[in-house]
Structure 1
Amino acid sequence: MRNTAKFSTAVLAAGALTLGLTACGSDTDSSDTSGPLVVAASPTPHAEILNYVKDNLAKKAGLDLEVKEFTDYTTQNPSTEDGSVDANYFQNKPYLDDFNKKNGTKIVPVVTVHLEPLGLYSHKAKSAGALKSGATVAVPNDTVNEARALKLLDVNGIITLKGGAGNEATPADIAKNPKNLKFKELEAAQTPRSLDDVDAAVVNGNYAIEADLKPADDALVLESAKNNPYGNFLAVKDGNQDDPRVKKLAKLLTSPEVKKFINDKYAGSVLASF
């Protein structure tokens, strides 16, 4: 799978220097680490939020921040684990737990920043109840987001999951399917692009925004922010939580200025989690 990243040779060189200094003796003071903090992020809204911090808050806080955009979010944790980047910002806790379990990695959350409500969208039906019998619904094909999509349909009475279906639920865990819906499993980034080919699609909030969908207005059903475990956070490889650059970024990402930016820019399509 090809991943698109935006970065410069200078950033790579600085990142390599940072990693090299970090790898030196354990008695090295981490506050002496030079070079920018390189953070991998999905373009929307993660990189947009980080770039707001970079352009408006980082310099005053003494933080040299570089934002590296990945359109393929599945490559961000491997890049963080192998040191290609210092941190990432794109995921939620169930996704991270599943990734660490399957890959033996040790990525840990630092601070939760926002929630992107998952929604059901359609170019053919004006309401969830208007979906026809036998309709095809696209869902993300990664473990956690597929389960999350099915839970959204379950909570809204479109399907009923078997008791105990958790964060690894698949269509095989559907107990009742009154409309005999068919499910098409796609990469999450492809779900909004499938809307002309399927009857409906469950789309992650960031991809909905990129596709000019307005979750608060366009979704047939939308996740509630209340008691939602899917908040997105800044994450690092275990052991790097105390990097002073990471601490500075965590503080900036949960500042009143960032909350206002999220509220003003996304108008309910992205919700601050702090």
Structure 2
Amino acid sequence: MEPFMVARRAILVSGLAALALTACGPKAPAPSAADTLTVAATAIPHAEVLEFVKPKLAAEGLKLKIKVFNDYVQPNTQVAEKRIDVNYFQTLPYLQDFNREKGTDLVTITGVHVEPIGAYSTKWKSIAEVPNGATVAIPNDASTEARALILLAKNGVIGLKNPSDLSTLKDITSNPKNLKFKELEAPALPRVLAQVDLAVINTNYALDAKLNPSKDALIAEDKTSPYVNYLVGRPDNKDDPRVKKLAAALTSPEVKDFLAQKYAGAVVPAF
């Protein structure tokens, strides 16, 4: 082949390649692992709040991968084992109890909201109507059981040695209606509501069961509840820029407005 033909062909190939690149335009780089953050959450309201901030974070270059769980153990276990980066579902007393029992060292990053826990019934319209010998279902994890008992004590249903302490059934000092308590896994409480006289249910599970805490609960914590729900991580990633970016998004004015509009008092901002 003549030299000028070789040169001509090289120019032609080079020109076609340049034309193809111009036509297609530059491709956006695929998100790397460094630009992705995995978050464990329960479905309502935590995953809903995360879905709300997801587009904002994407615009800032952070891809949020939300993994929904229906229990309180795996979200912590998987973060501790570094299978998931952070989680958003729990209160500080629950986290402290989990760390103590499991030997983990998970840490709080920022407080986001409060879900006032409430007592529900399909049989009675007020707490005063709950009869003698009634069956009351409460969560069986230590921190939430204490929270349920404190709620009942503050409303005069039972008496406790120290209503501000981490109480158990053994700490009940008075039970004027001879209530019978059933300790159950928190996710199961809405399912047994029709089978008991009263059930103290975490707000996330109440919302998931289409219960309206501000209307359906016979009694409930008020807005001064100390049980704030936190974004939680590990000592090694609590200062990670991606985690800080999520923390900032979760405590933004936009999230405060979202909580107020969507949950109408059932979920209260803690910031």
Return the alpha-carbon distance in structure 2 between the equivalents of residues 165 and 231 of structure 1. Answer: 16
Give the match's secondary structure for 1:191.
Answer: helix
Which of the residues 180, 188, 208 maps onto 1:190? 188
SS at match of 1:126: coil
In 1, the alpha carbon distance for the partners of 2:87 and 2:94 equals: 13
CA–CA distance in structure 2, aligned partners of residues 259 and 70 of structure 1 = 24
Residue 164 (structure 1) shift: 6.8
Matches within 5 A, 1:232-243: 232-243=229-240
Equivalent in the alignment of 1:23: none
> Which residue of the partner structure matches residue 252 of structure 1?
249
CA contact (8 A) 2:41 2:47 kept: yes
Residue in structure 1 matched with residue 145 of structure 2 by the alignment: 146
Which protein is bigger by CA-based radius of gyration? 2
Q: Specify the alignment match of 2:259 in structure 1.
A: 262
Partner AA of 1:246 in structure 2:
V
Q: Which residue of 2 aligns with 1:31?
A: none
SS at match of 1:263: helix
Match of 2:42 in 1: 42
The one-letter code matched in structure 1 to 2:221 is E
Task: Work out the CA distance in 2 between the residues paired with 1:157 and 1:103.
Answer: 34
- Partner Cα separation in structure 1 for residue 162 and residue 261 of structure 2: 40
CA RMSD of aligned residues (A): 1.6
Is the contact made by 1:208 and 1:215 (CA closer than 8 Å) also made in structure 2? Answer: yes
Shift of 1:35: 4.2
**Partner Cα distance (2:248, 2:144) in 1:** 28
What is the deviation of 1:60?
A: 2.4
User: In structure 1, the residue corresponding to 2:49 is in which secondary structure?
Assistant: helix
> What amino acid is aligned across from residue 261 of structure 1 in structure 2?
F
Residues 113, 267 of structure 2: 8 Å contact kept: yes
Which runs of no fewer than 5 residues in structure 2 stay unpaired? 1-29
Q: How many residue pairs were aligned?
A: 242
How far apart are 1:165 and its partner, in Å? 6.7
1:61 equivalenced with 2:66 (yes/no): no
How many angstroms does 1:125 deviate by?
Answer: 0.7
CA distance in 2, matches of 1:218, 1:165: 25
CA distance in 2, matches of 1:164, 1:258: 32
Pick one of 212, 221, 227 that aligns with 1:230.
227
**Structure-2 separation of matches of 1:101 and 1:164:** 22
1:171 aligns with 2:169: yes
| Aligned position for 2:22 | none
**Percent same amino acid among aligned pairs?**
52
Structure 2: distance between partners of 1:221 and 1:70: 27
Partner SS state of residue 89, structure 1 = strand
Letter of the 1:64 counterpart: K
Alignment of 1:88-103 (within 5 A): 88-103=87-102
Say whether the 8 Å CA contact 1:40–1:76 is kept in structure 2: yes
Q: Provide the rounded CA distance (Å) in 2 between the counterparts of 1:117 and 1:48.
A: 18
CA contact (8 A) 1:113 1:234 kept: yes
Listed one character per residue, the Cα deviations across residues 21-43 of structure 1 (whole Å, up to 9, x for unaligned) are xxxxxxxxxxxxx2410000000
Deviation at residue 104 of structure 1 after TM alignment? 1.2
Alignment of 1:273 with 2:270, yes or no, is: yes
Q: Deviations over 1:227-263 (max 9, x none)?
A: x221101000112111100000000000011111111
The one-letter code matched in structure 2 to 1:75 is Q
Q: Find the counterpart in structure 2 of residue 159 from structure 1.
A: 158
Aligned to 1:82: 81
Per-residue deviation, 1:46: 0.3
